[in-house]
Amino acid sequence: MLQPYLAMQLLSDPLLQGQGILGRCLMTWPTSLAGQRSYQAVDLSKDAALKRYHHRLSALFYQPWSLSADGALQLSKLSLSPLARRRWIDLHDAIETQLGEFGELASVRPSGSKAADNLLRVAGILAAVEESSVVEVDHIQRASALVGYYLTEIQRLTEQEPVCRVKEEADRLLRWLQVKDWKRFSIRELNRNGPRFARKSSRHAAKLLVELIDHQWLITDGHTFEVRHV
């Protein structure tokens, strides 16, 4: 886990992108639920699916190690079923096609180049968790869905423009105005009763309002402001 500022610095660093370090990671940045996490009286210890999950992981954690005569770890073998192998090859080639100059994955080539390998690793994990020594086509399909999601995420995270602080806060102010149903207001009202981040100074509040006016989210007669597109 990374703090948002550090994550954006890493994701925008061309040196790290070129070295392929981030391509070895499966990244996601879900929308924050801060402010929406009301307490719910739920006893997760009684959730049947969660209990099965914990039981299986505990069995894997406490499984005795298999060691050779010289003490080396003997790993369990996983094999691909013929159908799974055929499906993985098809997915591998489909991904490779999109890595070309004009392909959908051209902008995230470091991650895309490792996607087929990561897909096979995820499929192997699914098989192991489900007590199967054979990776079946169903494992490949589910792993494909997961890796597809992570590729979409890395595209979203690396292709977006660097966030401008004024634009970010202007966007927050617009959401605040919509949630609070402030259809019409004055800058004086905003400075008195608006959100804290918009009340740093009158000049800062004016910058946020100008940003929203420039993008046609607000209109003004010079004295009051009106929210549009609500």
Helix or strand (DSSP H, E) at 188: helix 187-193
pLDDT digits (tens, 9 = 90+) for 104-116: 998 888 899 999 9
Going from the C-alpha of 76 to that of each of 50, 134, 172, the distances in angstroms are 26, 11, 52
Instruction: Considering only residues 23 and 92, tell me which one the structure prediction assigns the higher pLDDT.
Output: 92
Average pLDDT on 42-62 reads 92
Question: Residue 182 pairs with which residues in a beta bridge?
Answer: none
Average per-residue pLDDT in the chain? 88
Domains in the chain: boundaries = 78-160, 165-227
Q: How many residues does the chain have?
A: 230
Structural contact between residues 197 and 188, judged by C-beta atoms closer than 8 angstroms? no
**Percentage of the chain lying above the pLDDT 70 cut:** 94
Average pLDDT on 55-66 reads 91
> What is the dotted CATH code of the domain comprising 165-227?
1.10.10
- Measured distance CA(43)–CA(47) in Å, rounded: 7
Instruction: Considering only residues 5 and 170, tell me which one the structure prediction assigns the higher pLDDT.
Output: 170
Structural contact between residues 183 and 226, judged by C-beta atoms closer than 8 angstroms? yes
pLDDT digits (tens, 9 = 90+) for 136-183: 999 999 999 999 999 999 888 877 665 577 888 899 899 999 999 999
Give the pLDDT confidence score for residue 24 in this predicted structure.
83
Q: Integer distance in angstroms from the first to the last C-alpha of the chain?
A: 35
**Percentage of the chain lying above the pLDDT 90 cut:** 54
Q: How confident is the model at residue 92 (pLDDT cuts 50, 70, 90)?
A: very high
